[in-house]
Amino acid sequence: MELKEQVKGLQGVVGVYYRNLYTGETAGHLQDKEFHPASIIKLPVVMAIYKMAEGGKADLGEKVQVTYDKRVPSCGAFNAFTDEPWVDIKTLCNLTITISDNTGANMLIDHYGIDVLNEQFKEMGIKKTHLERLFYDDEMQEKGYNNKAVPEEIGFLLEQIYTVSYTHLRAHET
């Protein structure tokens, strides 16, 4: 069954992007449309920070304090802490990706700034995916500010992760 036929039956507006990394074949449905993402926006945030670290603009060992007032609900390890720990940027990145930690993501966005991260997104080749607010920032959301993600651009980032990982693994096989 063709991709567009499969998404027709789904409720809501759905964007899909597919790329076969071996043949280069692509398919999509609304793949270049901006969507209000949930946690998928965490992927470009963490990738941007690692790119900045690679260029000497971020220190993954730098520590920040996770204070009670910075904690947000839902996914995350920090809500289980009984104190206000100092955590390095690398740990925040790891928690943001591995367990979708919302507090960790907000700490990273707050620390580097929305404008800096959005500029880094552009440097990474993603033009329409961008941040407008933190997670659980109801005030900004009520004013109409929402993060945006584009399926094709997220696919591009996932392809980069695969390519770097595959190249790294192949280099260690020889």
pLDDT tens over the chain, length 174 residues = 577 778 877 888 899 999 999 999 999 999 999 999 999 999 999 999 999 999 999 999 999 999 999 999 877 899 899 999 999 999 999 999 999 999 999 999 999 999 999 999 999 999 999 999 999 999 999 999 999 999 999 999 999 999 888 777 777 776
What does the pLDDT read at residue 107?
A: 97
pTM of the model: 0.91
**Other residues' Cβ atoms within 10 Å of the Cβ of residue 25:** 9
Listed residue (165, 160, 110) closest to 134, CA to CA: 110
135 phi and psi angles, rounded to 5 deg: -70, 140
- pLDDT tens digit string along 97-121? 999 999 999 999 999 999 999 999 9
What does the pLDDT read at residue 173?
A: 74
Q: What 3-state DSSP class applies to 171? A: helix
What does the pLDDT read at residue 174?
A: 60
The alpha carbon torsion through 72, 75, 76, 82 (nearest 10 deg) reads 60
For the chain, the straight-line distance linking the first and the last C-alpha, in angstroms and rounded, comes to 41
